[in-house]
Structure 1
Amino acid sequence: MKKKLKIKAVFFLISFALFSGVWAQKKSKVNMETLLKEMTSREQLTRFPDPSFITKHVSSYDRSSTSPKEGNWFHNWDMNQWEGIEKTKNGKEYVLMDVKSPGAITHFWMTGAGENRGQGILRIYIDGKEEPVISQTIRSFIGENNEVGYPMSCSVSPETIADERGHNLYLPIPYAKSCKITYQSDLIKEGNPWETKSEILYYNIDYREYAAGAKIESFTKNSISQNKSIIQAANQMLLDGRFSQERKLKELDNFQIKLTPGEELVVSKKDAGAAIEQLNMRIQEDNPTQSLRSVIIKCTFDDQQTVWAPLGDFFGAGYRIDAFETRYNKVSVDGNLTSKWLMPFKNSCKITLENIGETTIGVNGSLQYSSYKWNKNAMHFYTSWHQYTKVNTGVPKNMLGGEGVRDVNFVTLKGKGVYVGDVLTLFNDNLPIGKTSWTKEEGTFNYCWWGEGDEKIYIDGEQFPSHFGTGTEDYYNYAWCKGEKFSHPFIAQPSGEGNMTPGYTVNTRVRALDVLPFNTSLKFDMELWHWNKATLNYAPTTFYYMMPGGESNIKSDYKGAKEEVLLDFEKIHPVK
């Protein structure tokens, strides 16, 4: 055992040195090595990107959705929609993406349905060359790529059968001039795919667009094998929770408090520039629920309050302790809550906890501080939270929408910054149409899925969203509304009980290379879509960095946070 640990430690030291050396030698270029270094750096998130880029998106969203002012805005045939169709020497190739500017693919998600799902051929053409750098089955390259390895290639949930998982690739694929991605399958048929029994493909691709003239080393057929060691190092850092720029601990503040109803206490305060390295807290209850929503965390950096959220949602727990770990949030089985978002400040910071509940709540915790060099690109960390309480999802719908479907706002931002992730906590209160009660003999309800709606993200005043997705579960990178749990450095579903039956769900997505920079504004909307008539308690938490003075439309939502948290469906609809 000691020998294995020693080998692992040596591997990490070599990996760390390799990353540091690459950054020092090639910081003027963009290539797979520098992108992987960026993927594993927290400090990079806190500084506005240089060289600058725009994160764009292409997906199989319903192309008949053309305007929020039209009735087609909520059309939902989000499968087998292409950028084009080409006849090549290989046969008919369906174009998923075709861009003619320097950039890099940063995240690729897909799932499928029907016969032979995910076994068609994916081809990636770089810089206008006729021969693809990738030509293999789409699932073997995206989610089951043994050469890339886990977690940069992953399928979730591992508890779900493989055909019904979301398949993800986080390996960056840079290109100097252009990139075209196609899919070929003889089982794809024209017309309604459900009626023609066609193979069905859903896909979402995030990619960066760099300015003309950017120095980019393009991906080749040999890029994965040539970069094997650094890919393995990045995978290991992601799995170990390490970062390529490990930081020296400067100070540690411990606290143990009891908050009476209505009380607010300062748990840490600094009057010199630094960064919060890590937050650790625990509510002193065996099974906290309401208390996770009743304790509010507030962070003020350089005299501007930028964080306001219930403690549980801030840490990604929602309002129940279900163990999981992503790159930036961790919840342990014993109720310990950890946040690794790096939170820099130039001159001062103040962290307070407020109890808006009706009982006294004990909280233990610690804050670790590290040194940080503030510069012109440095940004403050922000968190916004609000709840749509008992929001009605309308009448039953078909693929062309229906009464009650709507876009709900996660957050709207003004200023310059980078959007880095979100948590969605909800309770799905669903009954079959026309019923006000239920019996256990009725079994599982049909059409209970709440998350058919697509994300729509507008950057810098766009009139049409540059990010238009294919479903809420697709945005959170799993598939087919499956309720099985999963935990991954960039995504998690600690609980999916409310997915296909009434109940409680928490979904998390944190971003790395697929962060969303904005120069003037960002608006994040999500379609609220339920196949059945239902009400939801629907609470998004959003994480982002902004230059000092940035503004959010989300204000302190005391009303939403004081609502009773829901876990027991029978409490709402008693069994007859």
Structure 2
Amino acid sequence: MKLLRLSFISLLFFSSLFTACQGAATHVVSVASLLKEMTSREQLTKFPEPQYITKHASSYDRRSISANDKFWFANWDNNQWTSVEENNGRTEYVLLDTDQPGAITHFWMTGIGENRGQGTLRIYIDDVKKPVISQTLRSFIGENKAVGYPLSCSVSPLAPVDERGHNLYFPIPYAQSCKITYESDLIIKDERGKGEVLYYNIDYRTYIEDVEIESFTKTSIADNKDLIVKTNQLLLNGGSSDKVKQSKGFESFDITLNKDAEVVISQKNIGAAIHEINMRVQEDNPRQSMRSAILKCTFDNSQTVWVPIGDFFGSGYKITPYETRYNKVSGSGNLTSKWIMPFEKSCQISLKNIGDVPIRINGSLQFNAYDWTNRSMHFYTSWHQFTGIETGKADKSMDGGNGIQDLNYVTLSGQGVYVGDVLTLFNDNAPLGKTIWEKEDGTFRHCWWGEGDEKIYIDGEAFPSHFGTGTEDYYNYAWCKPETFTHPFIAQPSGDGNMTPGYTVNAKVRTLNALPFTKSLKFDMELWHWNKATINYAPTTFYYMKPGGKNNIAPDYKGAKEKVLVDYEELHKSEKNNS
């Protein structure tokens, strides 16, 4: 009896232990957990747990099937649906239909014609026939007063409201399934007809590990009111939900970089993480120096960062004030980065001058403690410029062709997470003084450079799981609007080169819609220009990878040594004088 009783007690003990371990291993995902994750900088430095895949749904032209097909660059990127359903006498256009546990992490839309997003959005969760959301699309996405700014926003606020991109960053988790539909009697059946035209892009997670999900309900916004307010405040003031880490040192520097000189500004032989980098180029109007000064970072004996400082801080090569969650540029020229850059044993940070004149730079670095684990990753930045690239001849066709091409932002191999990018370009388009939508001698003229779609391939996909609707849509504004804007996740510090020839910078950072990959990631962007042009096109990419990861972008000394171009009239002043 004693042996039997002991065995029974042992059984209960091990059963309880197993249950406890099971409970400890189960991750709970909810609106609250996702909002807290959104404001954690450190969480991006570790490969996701529980593991998920970020997927994408959009209104891209469905004729784009293969890179070998003539419609690969087709551009009717609107009113394209997953399916069309009849429901209680109403027609619902299905934007997304997934039957796997996950969460909506970002929703963007814009429109033209009648209505412009004023039809009814419905979101159905976990196969329940009654939607948890039923209201106008724009009021829920970009004008959601219950969620507030910046979780809900429309940009640029300087542009007419009907010509903005409307964004929702508020997460919508679901335990089993999610279907998103849109109803509008004005949706046109013929893409060339009159009525409402809708463009949309949706990022969503699919969890591939065991996870417990508390699905979004009708009361989820009200139930999390205080946390939503706190989240908006943290996003706007640059705060973090991470626990405060012990300082591992504050280092300042003030150096003059002579031609071809490289100076180590910090070196450590103990594990920690960079939490903030500040710099300032000591020139009244730095331009070439912002491109000539190269930031180099080596973590644990592997160089992972080689980038011109202006592009690294997201300002390109002009001092254009803006602020996202990870970068800030002030009007006086102070440059700040808040990417967390961990290392297990050592790091070396240096600045190199590849230009022809000396550059004086001062600044500081803040190091904090960091717990390196088997999920930790190094921070990477890649930069290169497509210099003087030809966009092809002018064409009115929406079917693609005539010089349109895919440009590679970056291709990665290994395990990691893609977290953002900055695009700096100079658009040398059209004769002086010409603007968009002009015809001269039968030539179709349009200065807009960014009609092309992003195509992102994850873990060896044959067809991109992320296929967008235009470069400005990827950067979450709309209609090639030149007005500037700044937001925790997106920014256009300069849009001078959008509607007219000139200089443009677009920036995007990712949190909940970051892109994990286990083997590889390839990011291409179409260069789809409305007019024959020559363009300098420089993408900067930000990502984390586990030690051993590789990228295809070698240090682009040639591109960084090119003369920077800022003003079209200045560029062609000598040509005018000579003529």
For the criterion TM > 0.5, the same-fold answer is: yes
Distance 1:332 1:138 in 2: 35
For the pair 1:363 / 2:358, whether they are aligned, the reply is no
Paired residue for 1:400?
399
Amino acid across the alignment from 1:514: N
Amino acid across the alignment from 1:179: C
Paired residue for 1:15?
none
Distance 1:262 1:211 in 2: 49
Report how far residue 72 of structure 1 moved: 1.1
Distance 1:153 1:89 in 2: 31
For the pair 1:202 / 2:191, whether they are aligned, the reply is no
Report how far residue 247 of structure 1 moved: 3.0
Deviations along 1:514-551, one digit per CA (max 9) or x if unpaired, are: 00000000000000010100011000000000000100
User: 2:413·2:521 contact (CA, 8 Å) conserved in 1?
Assistant: yes
SS at match of 1:74: coil
User: 2:52·2:209 contact (CA, 8 Å) conserved in 1?
Assistant: no
Q: CA 1:90/1:343 → structure 2, altered by over 3 Å: closer, same or farther?
A: farther
Q: Where do residues 149-298 of structure 1 align in structure 2 (5 Å cutoff)?
A: 149-192=148-191, 195-211=192-208, 213-245=210-242, 246-298=244-296
Report how far residue 89 of structure 1 moved: 1.1
Amino acid across the alignment from 1:315: F
Distance 1:196 1:383 in 2: 45
For the pair 1:425 / 2:424, whether they are aligned, the reply is yes
Distance 1:26 1:200 in 2: 46
Paired residue for 1:11?
none
Distance 2:472 2:250 in 1: 38
Paired residue for 1:305?
303
Distance 2:160 2:149 in 1: 18
Q: Which runs of 4+ in 1 moved over 4 A?
A: 24-27, 442-446
Distance 2:452 2:279 in 1: 34
Distance 1:248 1:124 in 2: 44
Distance 2:89 2:185 in 1: 11
For the pair 1:148 / 2:147, whether they are aligned, the reply is yes
Paired residue for 2:458?
459
Q: TM-score, normalised by structure 1?
A: 0.93
Deviations along 1:402-440, one digit per CA (max 9) or x if unpaired, are: 210000000000000000000000000101xxxxx53x4
Deviations along 1:25-59, one digit per CA (max 9) or x if unpaired, are: 99820011111111000110000000000000000
Paired residue for 1:53?
52
Distance 2:514 2:84 in 1: 30
Q: CA 1:26/1:138 → structure 2, altered by over 3 Å: closer, same or farther?
A: farther
SS at match of 2:134: strand
Amino acid across the alignment from 1:560: G
SS at match of 2:211: coil
Distance 1:116 1:313 in 2: 39
SS at match of 1:49: coil
Distance 2:245 2:124 in 1: 39
Distance 1:411 1:25 in 2: 38
For the pair 1:501 / 2:503, whether they are aligned, the reply is no
Deviations along 1:331-383, one digit per CA (max 9) or x if unpaired, are: 00000000000000000000000000000100001000000000000000000
Distance 1:35 1:300 in 2: 32
**Structure exhibiting the larger radius of gyration computed from Cα positions:** 2
Distance 1:481 1:560 in 2: 26
User: 1:145·1:153 contact (CA, 8 Å) conserved in 2?
Assistant: yes
User: 1:101·1:212 contact (CA, 8 Å) conserved in 2?
Assistant: no
Report how far residue 571 of structure 1 moved: 3.8
Deviations along 1:177-207, one digit per CA (max 9) or x if unpaired, are: 0000000000012112xx3212000000000
Q: CA RMSD in A?
A: 1.4
User: 2:142·2:168 contact (CA, 8 Å) conserved in 1?
Assistant: yes
User: 1:102·1:212 contact (CA, 8 Å) conserved in 2?
Assistant: no
Distance 2:247 2:238 in 1: 16
User: 2:51·2:209 contact (CA, 8 Å) conserved in 1?
Assistant: no
| 1:376 aligned to which of 371, 374, 377 | 374
Paired residue for 1:316?
314
SS at match of 1:566: coil
User: 2:435·2:499 contact (CA, 8 Å) conserved in 1?
Assistant: no
Distance 1:91 1:40 in 2: 40
Deviations along 1:73-132, one digit per CA (max 9) or x if unpaired, are: 000100000000000015000000000000000000000100111100000000000000
Distance 1:443 1:107 in 2: 33
| Unaligned segments of structure 1, at least 5 residues | 1-23, 432-436
Amino acid across the alignment from 1:265: V
Distance 2:175 2:183 in 1: 25
Distance 1:565 1:249 in 2: 39
Q: CA 1:25/1:519 → structure 2, altered by over 3 Å: closer, same or farther?
A: closer
User: 2:386·2:537 contact (CA, 8 Å) conserved in 1?
Assistant: yes
Q: Where do residues 55-134 of structure 1 align in structure 2 (5 Å cutoff)?
A: 55-89=54-88, 91-134=90-133
Report how far residue 219 of structure 1 moved: 0.3
Distance 1:224 1:232 in 2: 11
Distance 1:352 1:451 in 2: 34
Distance 2:248 2:350 in 1: 20
| Unaligned segments of structure 2, at least 5 residues | 1-22, 439-444
Paired residue for 1:5?
none
SS at match of 1:44: helix
For the pair 1:474 / 2:483, whether they are aligned, the reply is no
Distance 1:248 1:133 in 2: 43
Distance 2:357 2:364 in 1: 23
Report how far residue 157 of structure 1 moved: 0.4
Report how far residue 567 of structure 1 moved: 0.8
Amino acid across the alignment from 1:373: D
Q: CA 1:101/1:370 → structure 2, altered by over 3 Å: closer, same or farther?
A: same
Q: CA 1:213/1:27 → structure 2, altered by over 3 Å: closer, same or farther?
A: closer
Distance 1:299 1:541 in 2: 15
Distance 2:464 2:196 in 1: 28
Report how far residue 471 of structure 1 moved: 0.1
Distance 2:106 2:26 in 1: 22
User: 2:81·2:93 contact (CA, 8 Å) conserved in 1?
Assistant: yes
Q: CA 1:251/1:452 → structure 2, altered by over 3 Å: closer, same or farther?
A: same
Q: TM-score, normalised by structure 2?
A: 0.92
Distance 1:391 1:553 in 2: 20
Taking only the aligned residue pairs, the percentage that are identical comes to 65
Distance 2:471 2:214 in 1: 34
User: 2:310·2:316 contact (CA, 8 Å) conserved in 1?
Assistant: yes
